[in-house]
C-alpha cells in the first residue's frame, strides 16, 4: 500500500515541477498540452478539533459523518491525480486516483470489493466516446447526484454535508450516455451495477437505472434533477430509489445561492422484502466572494432518517472562510454545529452521548497541473 501512495505522490511531484524549455526539447507540460492530454491533482490535509469529549465526530447514528470523523487530529485527506484525454469527437478516457483517509470511505462504498482500510482508491476510470452532442462513458465514474463532490477543490466547505455522506452514492460502475439538446438542456441515461452503494461487482442480475437532466436557462442559473432506481443487497424483492434535485443561482458576481434536496427509499415488493427505510433532507448554501482572494460559505442542513420503530432528525450549520494567497493554494477555516433529536454524539466513554456537537477545522489544499473537466 505504501508503494502505491509513493507512486501517486511521485507522479504528482513530476507535475509540480516547473515548465523548463531547454535545447533538449519541450517540457512535460508542453508535451501534454500539445497531445490533448490534461493532467492535474491536489494535496489536501486538515486538522479538526471537536468540543465534545469523544475522539470521533458524528457518532454511530443512522445519518452520521463518514469523511471527517476524527476529533483532535491531523488528517491527510487526499493526494489526487487525474489524467484525461477527452476530445470533443472520437475516443478518449479518464482516470482519477486518490490516496489518503478519504480513499477508505470511497472503498467502503464498494461493500467489500476493496478493503475499507486501504488508503488508496481508484475513484474513476472510464473510456469515452463522443460524437456531435452525444457522449458515452463506460467504467467507473462519479455520481450525478448532489451539490458536493469527492474532489476537495470543488467544495465550498471543509466538512461534507450529511446528504452527501448518507443519502447519495459516491460512484457508479456501468455506462452513462449524455446528450446536449441545446445550451438549455442536457439529458442523462445510464445503467450501473448497484443502486446506491457504488458496488463495483454486482451481487444480483438486476441493474440500476440512472436518468436525469440538467437545465441551464442562463449562465447564472442551473437546475439538475436525477433519479436512481434499482435493487440492492442480492435480494430481488428489495428496491432502492433516490430522487435528487440540485439548483444554483449566481445572484450577483460575488453572490451564489445553492440548494440540494434528496429523497431516498429502500423497500420490499409485495410484502416479501426486508423492512424499508426512508432518508430525506435539504441543504442550502450561501457562497460569497468578499475579495478576489477571500471567499465565504454558509451551509444549513436538515436530514431525517426513518425506519420501522425508529426515527432520527439531524441538522447542521457550517460557516467556512477560504483564503487563497496564490492561485494554486487555499487555506480554509470552518466552524460547524450539529444537533439531533436523539443522543447520538460521543462525549467520552461509549455510554456518554449528547444531542449536540460542535467542532472547528482548518484545511490546506495545494493544486497543480492542468485541470480537467471531470
Q: Concatenated DSSP letters for 208-234?
A: EEEEEEEEEEETTEEEEEEEEEEE-TT
Q: Is the pLDDT of residue 114 over 60?
A: no
Helix (H, G, I), strand (E, B) or coil at 109: coil
Answer whether 247's CB lies under 8 Å from 223's CB.
yes
Is the pLDDT at 16 greater than 60, yes or no? no
The number of distinct structural domains making up the chain is: 1
> What value does the mean pLDDT take over residues 3-8?
53
First to last CA, the chain: 26
The pLDDT of residue 30 = 65
For 226, the domain range is 2-16+42-369
DSSP 161: P
Q: Is residue 25 part of a domain?
A: no
Assess contact for 214 and 185: CB atoms under 8 A: yes
Q: Mean pLDDT of all residues in the chain?
A: 86
> What's the pLDDT at 20?
44
Q: What is the pLDDT of residues 273-322, one digit of tens each?
A: 445 789 999 999 999 999 999 999 999 999 999 887 789 999 999 999 99
Instruction: Flag whether 271 is in a domain.
Output: yes
With beta carbons less than 8 A apart as the criterion, state whether 104 and 116 touch: yes
For range 102-130, the mean pLDDT: 80
With respect to residue 24, please indicate whether it lies within any of the assigned structural domains: no
| Confidence (pLDDT) at 199 | 61
Q: Can you tell me the distance from the alpha carbon of 101 to that of 88, in angstroms, rounded to the nearest whole number?
A: 35
| Total residue length of the chain | 374
| CATH code, domain carrying 327 | 2.40.160.10
Domain-located, residue 319: yes
Residues 274 and 268: their CA atoms lie apart, in Å, by: 6
Assess if residue 266 is contained within a domain: yes
Please indicate, yes or no, if residue 260 is contained in any of the structural domains.
yes
Residue 26 lies in a domain: no
**Do residues 162 and 299 make contact, with C-beta atoms less than 8 angstroms apart?**
no
DSSP readout, 18-38?
PP--BTTB--HHHHHHHHT-E
Q: Select the more confidently predicted residue: 311 or 127.
A: 127
Q: What's residue 106's pLDDT?
A: 87
CA angle 60, 61, 66 (to 5 degrees): 65
Q: What local confidence, expressed as pLDDT, does residue 113 receive?
A: 45
Instruction: Say if residues 40 and 82 touch (Cβ distance below 8 Å).
Output: yes
**Portion of the chain with pLDDT greater than 70, in percent:** 80
| Residue 274, domain member (yes or no) | yes
pTM exceeds 0.85 = yes
Amino acid at each position: 500500500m505504501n508503494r502505491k501512495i509513493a507512486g501517486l505522490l511521485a507522479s504528482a511531484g513530476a507535475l509540480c515541477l516547473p515548465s523548463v524549455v531547454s535545447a533538449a526539447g519541450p517540457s512535460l507540460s508542453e508535451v501534454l498540452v500539445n497531445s490533448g492530454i490534461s493532467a492535474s491533482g491536489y494535496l489536501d490535509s486538515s486538522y479538526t478539533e471537536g468540543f465534545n469529549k469523544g475522539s470521533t465526530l458524528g457518532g454511530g447514528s443512522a445519518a452520521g459523518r463518514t469523511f471527517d470523523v476524527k476529533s483532535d487530529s491531523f488528517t491527510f485527506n487526499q493526494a489526487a491525480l487525474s489524467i484525461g484525454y477527452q476530445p470533443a469527437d472520437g475516443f478518449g478516457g479518464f482516470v482519477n486516483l486518490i490516496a489518503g483517509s478519504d480513499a477508505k470511505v470511497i472503498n467502503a462504498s464498494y461493500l467489500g470489493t476493496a478493503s475499507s482500510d486501504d488508503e488508496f482508491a481508484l475513484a474513476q476510470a472510464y473510456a469515452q466516446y463522443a460524437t456531435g452532442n452525444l457522449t458515452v462513458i463506460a467504467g467507473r465514474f462519479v455520481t450525478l447526484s448532489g451539490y458536493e463532490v469527492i474532489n476537495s477543490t470543488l467544495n465550498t466547505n471543509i466538512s461534507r454535508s450529511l446528504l452527501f455522506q448518507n443519502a447519495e452514492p459516491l460512484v457508479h460502475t456501468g455506462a452513462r450516455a449524455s446528450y446536449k439538446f441545446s445550451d438549455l438542456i442536457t439529458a442523462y441515461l445510464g445503467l450501473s451495477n448497484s443502486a446506491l452503494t457504488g458496488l463495483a461487482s454486482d451481487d444480483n442480475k438486476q441493474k440500476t437505472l440512472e436518468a436525469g437532466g440538467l437545465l441551464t436557462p442562463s449562465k447564472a442559473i442551473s437546475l439538475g434533477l436525477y433519479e436512481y432506481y434499482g435493487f440492492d443487497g442480492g435480494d430481488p424483492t428489495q428496491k432502492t430509489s433516490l430522487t435528487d434535485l440540485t439548483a444554483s443561482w449566481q445572484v450577483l458576481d460575488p453572490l451564489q445561492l445553492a440548494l440540494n434536496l434528496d429523497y431516498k427509499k429502500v423497500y420490499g415488493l409485495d410484502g416479501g422484502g426486508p423492512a424499508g427505510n426512508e432518508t430525506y433532507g435539504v441543504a442550502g448554501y450561501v457562497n460569497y466572494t468578499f475579495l478576489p482572494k477571500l471567499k465565504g460559505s454558509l451551509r444549513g442542513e436538515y436530514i431525517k432518517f426513518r425506519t420501522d420503530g425508529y426515527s432520527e432528525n439531524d441538522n447542521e450549520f457550517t460557516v467556512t472562510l477560504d483564503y487563497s494567497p496564490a492561485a494554486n493554494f487555499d487555506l480554509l477555516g470552518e466552524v460547524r454545529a450539529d444537533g439531533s433529536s436523539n443522543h447520538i454524539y460521543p462525549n467520552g466513554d461509549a455510554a456518554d452521548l449528547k444531542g449536540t456537537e460542535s467542532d472547528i477545522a482548518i484545511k490546506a489544499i495545494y493544486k497543480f497541473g492542468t485541470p480537467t473537466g471531470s
